Amino acid sequence: MAYLVYARKYRPKTFEEMVGQKAVVQTLQNAIRSGRVAQAYLFSGMRGVGKTTAARILAKALNCVNGPTPTPCNVCEFCTAIDEDRLVDVLEIDGASNRGIDDIRQLRESVQYKAMHSRYKVIYIDEVHQITKDGFNALLKTLEEPPPQTLFIFATTEFHKVPATIVSRCQHFEFKRVSQREMVNHLNFVADKEKLTVTPYGLSLIAEASEGSIRDAQSLLDQAVAFCGESIGDADLREILGAIDRGLFFDFSAAVREEKAERIFSLTERVVEAGHDLRHFFKELIHHFRNLLLVRTVDNPQDLLFLSAEDMARFRDEAALATSDEWLRWLQALQAAEAGLRFASHPQIYFETILVRLCHFKHLVPLRDLIQDVEALKKNVPADRGGETRAAGPSPLSIAARPAATKTSPRPAANPAAPAAEAKAPAENPPLSPSGSAASAGEVPTSERAPAASRDADKAMALKDPAVNLFMKKFKARITAVEPPATKRDEED
């Protein structure tokens, strides 16, 4: 007998054997028991999660000699014929190659005849979303009112492409991704049946690589047996699956945590030289930071992560070296940058830039803390101005601070069109001098009478203010201008 791959050899033959689709299985079994089988079903979901398998089991349940029954016997002639795809009353059609209106017309003509041998005529169309618009329109009436004892089952991996007119005539079942725990349990069952030696961590590697697809997981296990034989080692699995060395992820997280931005470039070169796609590596790096956050936050992370004892200990040690807030901040930054990396013209430069940014995150100061520090200094620190103590309130000097890289903008020239009377009119509120006293009428402010000397003196006075020093340190700014504070009346105006 020809060799059967694991994906076919261990394909479920009953509803109970299906993995990870409890809601779908229970609904179909209850419908068969109560005789409430619909005329059309639509199964949607990702590849390899059991859509075709569920359709075959449903066909067997309706046509079994003991049925209709939710538990087909799998030994009668009808069950055997359906498993071997040779029952003429059960048609399995590929929607990709039978998508035109002529194909649908031929299908409609064949549906008009009752089942020849079995109880139900079942028409199963895989990848139904590939049928053309005209083909769908030709199928509408037959789908809504099919002949008695005729059942349509549609399957698709792209549900959004199925017209709403088709969906409204079907009972829709969404097949979920199989969880990693259920996947590992199923692979362990197959390994026991085949007398394979593989570690739980190796099974978790296969389950993770399959991304929720039972068929993919069985195929990868089959490939591993072909490469290693009945004894499958973890190192061999990493080589087969193209898995990235976990130590490289820890090197990146350590560089970010220790603020070693210079190490990012050499680590990136290691990734490129190893032949890894940077976009895929970035995706796995996000998953690595998620695991660190999980280990740092959850009391029993081993219930959620399928890791060996050695790897779990390493995650615990690394996660303990930073707070939960820090891991969360780094993880959010990586997630926000993933979309940009996908469309970057220079992925390596973008990748390096993002990781270098993460190395500087510890220098960030929460704005709330900054405001509290400034307010505390304004209330409690003496002003060193002739022995006077500064009261709570606005600073005696109005300081215009700019980033160090910017230049002071020139003052705008006076409006030449201003009336002469307005120019000669005395100010109602004369500006205050740097000492805090009002300037006499007609007196030119100190900053205008002696710009250089006055400006230097005002800056020197401002630099004595601890609040000013704290502001400059936090925002890495410099003083570009010091102006007398406005009076209360000026503020009201």
**Alpha helices by DSSP H, 41-163:** 51-63, 77-83, 101-111, 133-144
Long-range contacts of 376-383 (CB under 8 A, 24+ apart): 377/466, 377/467, 377/470, 378/467, 381/465, 381/466, 381/467, 383/465
Range in 52-61, 70-79, 134-143, 361-370 the model is least confident about: 361-370
What is the rounded average pLDDT of the residues 122-130?
Answer: 93
Taking 70 as the threshold, does the pLDDT of residue 219 lie above it? yes
pLDDT value for 486: 53
Supply angle C-alpha 132, 138, 144, rounded to 5: 120
Q: Does domain 6-174 have CATH number 3.20.20.70?
A: no
Task: Identify which of 72, 70, 66, 78 has the alpha carbon closest to the alpha carbon of residue 34.
Answer: 70
Supply angle C-alpha 342, 345, 346, rounded to 5: 95
**pLDDT, tens digit, 9 for 90 and up, residues 269-306:** 999 998 888 998 999 999 999 999 999 999 888 888 87
pLDDT value for 204: 86
Among positive and negative, which fits the CA dihedral 210, 216, 220, 222?
positive
Cβ neighbours of residue 479 closer than 8 Å, sequence gap 6 or more: 399, 400, 401, 459, 462, 463, 468, 472
- Both structure tokens of 303: 């219930």
* Dihedral of the alpha carbons of 84, 86, 88, 90, in degrees to the nearest 10: 20
Q: What are the residue ranges spanned by the domains of the chain?
A: 6-174, 180-241, 254-363, 365-403+446-493
Range in 24-33, 176-185, 344-353, 437-446 the model is least confident about: 437-446
Can you name the residues that pair with 124 across neighbouring β-strands? 92, 153
Cα distance between residue 90 and residue 268, in whole Å: 55
Average confidence score pLDDT of the chain: 81
pLDDT value for 366: 65
Cβ neighbours of residue 397 closer than 8 Å, sequence gap 6 or more: 434, 458, 461, 462, 465, 482, 483, 484, 485
Phi then psi for residue 94, to 5 deg, are: -90, 115
What is the rounded average pLDDT of the residues 45-71?
Answer: 92
pLDDT value for 70: 93
Using pLDDT thresholds of 50, 70 and 90, give the confidence band for residue 309.
Answer: confident
Can you name the residues that pair with 153 across neighbouring β-strands? 41, 124
SS3 content of the chain, % helix, strand, coil (to 5): 55, 10, 35
274 Rama sector, left if φ>0, alpha if ψ -120 to 50, beta otherwise: alpha
Taking 60 as the threshold, does the pLDDT of residue 401 lie above it? no
What is the rounded average pLDDT of the residues 397-422?
Answer: 43
Is the preceding peptide bond at 416 cis, omega within 30 degrees of 0?
A: no
Higher pLDDT, 323 or 308: 323
Higher pLDDT, 406 or 227: 227
Fold of the domain built from segment(s) 254-363: Zinc Finger, Delta Prime; domain 3 (1.20.272)
Using pLDDT thresholds of 50, 70 and 90, give the confidence band for residue 406.
Answer: very low
pLDDT value for 82: 92
Task: Identify which of 5, 406, 403, 33 has the alpha carbon closest to the alpha carbon of residue 220.
Answer: 5
Taking 90 as the threshold, does the pLDDT of residue 266 lie above it? yes
pLDDT value for 455: 65
180-241 and 254-363 share one CATH topology? no
Top-ranked range on mean pLDDT: pick from 40-44, 305-309, 341-345 = 40-44
**Alpha helices by DSSP H, 298-432:** 309-319, 324-342, 347-359, 367-380, 420-424
Strands 171-174 and 40-44: parallel
Using pLDDT thresholds of 50, 70 and 90, give the confidence band for residue 61.
Answer: very high
Using an 8 Å Cβ cutoff, are 267 and 251 in contact?
Answer: yes
DSSP line for 116-130 = SSSS-EEEEEESGGG
Using pLDDT thresholds of 50, 70 and 90, give the confidence band for residue 385.
Answer: very low
pLDDT value for 410: 45
Taking 90 as the threshold, does the pLDDT of residue 447 lie above it? no
**pLDDT, tens digit, 9 for 90 and up, residues 81-93:** 999 888 888 999 9
What is the rounded average pLDDT of the residues 32-42?
Answer: 93
Among positive and negative, which fits the CA dihedral 147, 153, 156, 160?
positive
Fold of the domain built from segment(s) 180-241: Helicase, Ruva Protein; domain 3 (1.10.8)
pLDDT value for 348: 93
Cα radius of gyration rounded to whole Å, the chain: 37
pLDDT value for 99: 83
Task: Identify which of 160, 162, 164 has the alpha carbon closest to the alpha carbon of residue 125.
Answer: 162
Taking 80 as the threshold, does the pLDDT of residue 38 lie above it? yes
Higher pLDDT, 33 or 398: 33
Taking 50 as the threshold, does the pLDDT of residue 403 lie above it? no
pLDDT value for 474: 67
245 CB neighbour count, 10 Å cutoff: 12
Burial of 109 (0-12, 13-18, 19+ CB in 10 A): exposed
Phi then psi for residue 44, to 5 deg, are: -125, 155
Range in 134-138, 168-172, 312-316, 375-379 the model is least confident about: 375-379
To which residue do tokens 């349990």 refer?
A: 185
Using pLDDT thresholds of 50, 70 and 90, give the confidence band for residue 469.
Answer: confident
| DSSP designation for 62 | H
- Both structure tokens of 20: 């990870």
| DSSP designation for 67 | -
Cα distance between residue 158 and residue 45, in whole Å: 8
The percentage of the chain sitting over the pLDDT mark of 90, rounded to a whole number, equals: 47
Cα distance between residue 112 and residue 146, in whole Å: 8
pLDDT value for 478: 66
Residue 181 has, within 13 A of its CA and on its CB side, a CA count of 4
Taking 50 as the threshold, does the pLDDT of residue 418 lie above it? no
Taking 70 as the threshold, does the pLDDT of residue 129 lie above it? yes
pLDDT value for 373: 73
**pLDDT, tens digit, 9 for 90 and up, residues 1-23:** 578 899 999 999 999 999 989 99
pLDDT value for 412: 45
What is the rounded average pLDDT of the residues 318-343?
Answer: 92
Using an 8 Å Cβ cutoff, are 72 and 14 in contact?
Answer: yes
Higher pLDDT, 385 or 122: 122
Whole-number Cα distances in Å, 438 to 106, 254, 357, 465: 99, 59, 49, 22
pLDDT value for 310: 81
Cα distance between residue 124 and residue 56, in whole Å: 9
Burial of 481 (0-12, 13-18, 19+ CB in 10 A): middle
Among positive and negative, which fits the CA dihedral 203, 209, 212, 215?
negative
To which residue do tokens 């005209």 refer?
A: 134
